[in-house]
Amino acid sequence: MSELVGRIRGSVGEFDRGAWDALAGPGNPFLSHAFLTALEDSGSVGPGTGWDPVPLAISQGEDGPPLAALPAYLKSHSQGEYVFDHGWADAWERAGGSYYPKLQIAVPFTPATGPRLLLADEALAAPLLRAAEMFCDQNGISGAHATFIAPTQVPLFEDAGWLIRSDIQFHWENRGYADFDAFLDALSSRKRKNLRKERERAQQSVDEIRHLTGDDLTEEVWDAFWRFYQDTGQRKWGRPYLTREAFSLLGQRMADRILLVFAYSGGEPVAGALNMIGDDALYGRYWGCTRDIPYLHFEICYYQAIDAAIARGLARVEAGAQGGHKLARGYEPAQTYSAHWIADPGFRAAIADFLERERQGVATDQLFLGQRTPFRKDG
């Protein structure tokens, strides 16, 4: 361990693809070399975006292959993270400190759970996190923040002394359902009827719904999805994060890990949702439309995702951040985690106190929501 060397690179693209993917593993598409470099090469992250790639890796000696790595970014703002620390930034700035830049260990713009410590050996977790802390100390950075950590990695951050924060998303769990009707049979009678009515109304309002993947992902398809993405982005957060080129590069590099669900009317696509296919989960990411059609959002984003997950034998659907309306549609509350290292001891103590109180509220919320799922109470 004394010979371990930590090094910051200027991009994930500087790593050998095979070496990076060997650490990331095959299960989560967002950690892949293909996904992260598509963001870099398309200009979705990098100069002018507030997301400057600084992936950190440790190796045995100067020239050895990476044994552990972090997907990391220097951030000049807190946009595109879905774990909100604006209050922390404001408090530290009012106290005379500089909250930005901060080190963000994450997949940009992606509130999906996954590994954040990419490890050849779990024993490397501690030196990898220590290297991140040293990078912050040496460069006067206020702190490091790892978001949407796979639950199995939370203890590794706790052991290193990082502060743990929790929140709630809504995930659909596959309990061995043979098809969508089998899932509906698990719901209470009233909820089952409501979902059937929503599906029928949405499906009757369009001519066709298609699942597109692999060779289906032509530039014409991406042009249509870009229109959907632009519309939603402008209405929800003012400026879409991804460039048009990002979608082309994702289609070129990982088409078989992408599932687009399109609704057509009059031969033209009128709505669509983008999903990423993992080894055990389907990850819903973006949605948009050119016409406001009642219940079509629920059909395209949630019900079609359930159909796709059942067909592929996937364990769950992660439908993105927020959205209490997902609860009535069979998506259950699931706890998500982030970890935070704060350089200043006084600021760290204040945040630790805040997180303790926040955790109690999150636990109460999860209990409340868990009692209000649409499933039959007889089990």
CATH number of the domain where residue 247 is located: 3.40.630.30
In a domain, residue 289? The reply is yes
Q: Which of 334, 359, 259, 333 is nearest to 300 (CA)?
A: 259
CA distance to 31, 55, 110, 208, 257, per residue, from 73 (Å): 14, 7, 14, 41, 24
- Classify residue 324: in a domain, yes or no: no
The reply to whether 43 and 98 lie within a common domain is yes
- Do both 193 and 234 map to the same domain? yes
Does residue 325 lie in a domain region?
Answer: no
Same domain, 218 and 280: yes
| 320 backbone dihedrals φ, ψ, rounded to 5° | 90, -175
Q: Stretch 306-334: mean pLDDT, rounded?
A: 94
Between the two ends of the chain, the Cα-to-Cα distance in Å is: 51
Question: Is there a single domain that holds both residue 122 and residue 146?
Answer: yes
Which of 314, 346, 361 marks a domain boundary? Answer: 314
Q: What is the mean pLDDT of residues 299-317?
A: 98
Model pTM score: 0.95
Residue 120 lies in a domain: yes
| Residue 379: band (very low, low, confident or very high) from pLDDT cuts 50, 70, 90 | low
**Does residue 379 belong to any structural domain of this protein?**
no
- Contact criterion met (CB below 8 Å) for 54 and 11: no
Confidence (pLDDT) at 237: 55
- CA-CA distance, 130 to 133, in Å (whole number)? 5
132 and 186, same domain (yes or no):
no
Query: Are 106 and 250 found together in one domain?
Result: no
- 114 and 190 fall within a common domain: no
Residue 42 has pLDDT above 80, yes or no: yes
Task: Provide the edge-to-edge strand list for the sheet that holds 56-60.
Answer: 4-8, 56-60, 66-70, 118-119
Amino acid at 208: E
Helix, strand or coil for residue 177? coil
pLDDT value for 236: 58
Q: How many Å apart are CA 277 and CA 206, to the nearest integer?
A: 25
- Reported as a pLDDT band with limits 50, 70 and 90, residue 321 is confident
Confidence band of 234 (pLDDT split at 50, 70, 90) = low
Mean pLDDT, range 205-215, rounded to an integer: 98
Q: Specify the number of domains making up the chain.
A: 2
The pLDDT of residue 2? 55
Residue labelled with tokens 């059609």: 293
Query: 210: pLDDT confidence band, cut at 50, 70 and 90?
Result: very high
Same domain flag for 129 and 201: no
Range of the domain at 115: 4-169+334-370
